[in-house]
Structure 1
Amino acid sequence: MTHAPGGRPAPKQRNEIAGVPIRAIAIVVIVALSLWFLFANLDRVKIQFWVFTVTAPLWITLLGTLLAGGVLGWLLKGRRMK
C-alpha cells in the first residue's frame, strides 16, 4: 500500500471501484446488456436492402450492427488519438 506524506494511506484513485478500473466495469456491463438484448430477440424478421430481401433471425442482424458499431468506434478512436 502506498502512503501519502505524513504516513497516512494514499486515497484510492477516483477511476477505480474496489481496485477494479471503472472502464473495465463499464465494458462488462455493456457486453452483458448487449448479450441479453441479442438473446431476447430471437424472432425471424425480413430485412429489406435496396434490391433484395433476406429473412434471418433478428439477433444476427443486431449482432452485425453491434460489430459494425464497434469497428467504427475503434477506427474513430485511432483517428482521435493521432
Structure 2
Amino acid sequence: MTKISDGSARPQRSEIGGIPTRYIGIGVIVILAVWFLFANLDKVKIQFWVFTVTAPLWIALLATLVAGAVLGWLLKGRRGR
C-alpha cells in the first residue's frame, strides 16, 4: 500500500550554532547597511519636485532603507495570503 502525503510536511530549517540562518543573514545585512550609512557623512542637496533640502547623506540613505523595509514588509503580507 502506498502512503499519500497530505502536503503538510514542514521543510527542514538550517541553523548555525543554534541560530537560524535567516537571522544570521538579516544581521549581516543590517551591519553592512549601518556601516554604509556611517561611511557617507557628507552633506548633500536632495531635490524633491518643488523644493530642495540640504541634509547629511546618511539621513537620506537611512530614509530610503526604512522606506524599502516597510514596502518589503507590506508586500510580504500580501504574498502570504
* Fold in common (TM above 0.5): yes
Q: CA deviation at 1:19?
A: 1.6
Q: CA deviation at 1:15?
A: 1.2
Higher relative contact order (CA 8 A, sep 6+): 2
Correspondence for 1:36: 35
The letter of the residue matching 1:33 is L
TM-score scaled by structure 2? Answer: 0.82
- How far does the alpha carbon of each residue in 1:39-60 deviate from its partner, in whole angstroms, 9 at most, with x for none? 0000000001111111000000
Q: How many Å separate the matches in 1 of 2:63 and 2:13?
A: 35
Correspondence for 2:55: 56
SS at 2:36's partner residue?
Answer: helix
Matched, 1:65 2:64: yes
Count of paired positions:
70
The letter of the residue matching 1:62 is L
Q: CA deviation at 1:29?
A: 0.2
Q: Please, which runs of 5 or more residues in structure 2 have no aligned partner?
A: 1-11
SS at 2:30's partner residue?
Answer: helix
Correspondence for 2:26: 27
- The sequence identity of aligned pairs, in percent, is 76
The letter of the residue matching 1:69 is G
Q: CA deviation at 1:18?
A: 2.0
Give runs of ≥4 in structure 1 deviating > 2 Å: none
Q: Please, which runs of 5 or more residues in structure 1 have no aligned partner?
A: 1-12
